[in-house]
Amino acid sequence: MRGGGGRRLRVAVDAANGMVTIDRPILEALGIELVPLYFELDGSFPHHEANPLKEENLHDLIARVEESGADLGVAFDGDADRAAFIDQLGTPVGSDLATGLIGGELLEREPGKAVLYDLRSSRAVAEYIAEQGGVPVRERVGHSFMKATLRRRNGIFGGELAGHYYFRDHYHADCALLAMVEVLNLLWQTGRPLSELVKPLQRYSKSPEINFVVEDKEGKMAALAAHFHDAEIDYLDGITVSYPDWWANVRPSNTEPYLRLVLEAKTAEELARRKAEIVGILGQPAE
């Protein structure tokens, strides 16, 4: 696969000793110059946890991108249904921003279609999808909800902050390899680096997902609603409080004993101030 300038794209891929190792022939068939990392199948995951959402698990891939001069880095999780992207400078690209990029690329082929994003995503995602001629659809977290809504709305694509990417043309299911192909298509068609392509989506300051061990989850969410009583509030998934300059979502984990917080603001200063305010209600984050 060649970029706009005709150069073959060099792509560093961290298989994390997981299932994407068996897809190596597919990766090589893409016509890229593959720079492989941890392609030995090993369920003990000897090099790092197979979770590309954690920054510490991306360090080796970032180093490989930087040393090899790769155009793109891709980290897969253990069962290869999630992917995280690293730009050519070694900077991770948020999965919500990748959702916006891929959605925009698909909308060039089919304008006017719905593109789904989960409610933890940056406001920039909905704005960008609309700017690209699509219909942004906000959905709660979870593959069952994303797939059902994608089908019901006849959407073309959807993405979650966790790195799941759903495609209408893949039976409305998620496929990390297809997401990688669409990012490669963007690099190939535009001839521009990923850092430049993602810039239009980098509009706000946003926190990662922050976990809190909370015994009375409903009580804490009620306390948030009372404290931010003048906000626009919805309960699509947990509680979301929205103001013109910032928003926050707090939701109970479906799999762990946590409340999870994501917040975003127009400035880093506002983000820090609002985070401190919410931590004062929820208690100190879990380690």
Dihedral (C-alpha) 130, 156, 82, 76: value to the nearest 10 degrees? -90
Question: What pLDDT, on the 0 to 100 scale, is given for residue 213?
Answer: 94
Q: Taking the CB of residue 24, how many other CB atoms lie within 10 A of it?
A: 14
Task: Tell me whether residue 66 is in a domain.
Answer: yes
Q: Which of 68, 92, 116 is the last residue of a domain?
A: 92
DSSP helix/strand/coil, 158: strand
Name the domain count of the chain: 3
Give CA–CA dist 38/48, Å, rounded: 10
Q: Which of 168, 201, 234 is the last residue of a domain?
A: 201
Task: Tell me whether residue 49 is in a domain.
Answer: yes
pLDDT by position in tens, the chain (length 287): 555 555 799 999 999 999 999 999 999 999 999 999 999 999 999 999 999 999 999 999 999 999 999 999 999 999 999 999 999 999 999 999 999 999 999 999 999 999 999 999 999 999 999 999 999 999 999 999 999 999 999 999 999 999 999 999 999 999 999 999 999 999 999 999 999 999 999 999 999 999 999 989 999 999 999 999 999 999 999 999 999 999 999 999 877 789 999 999 999 999 999 999 999 999 999 86
Give CA–CA dist 204/110, Å, rounded: 28
Could you tell me if 270 and 205 are in contact, meaning their C-beta atoms sit under 8 angstroms apart? Answer: yes
Question: What pLDDT, on the 0 to 100 scale, is given for residue 255?
Answer: 75
Q: Which of 201, 220, 243 is the last residue of a domain?
A: 201
Residue from 53, 20, 161, 171 nearest 98 by CA: 161
CATH classification at residue 130:
3.40.120.10
Task: Tell me whether residue 62 is in a domain.
Answer: yes
Token pair in block for residue 211: 């976990």
Q: Which amino acid is at 198?
A: V
Taken in order 207, 208, 214, 218, is the CA torsion positive or negative? positive
Question: Which region holds residue 95: left if phi is over 0, alpha if psi is between -120 and 50, else beta?
Answer: alpha
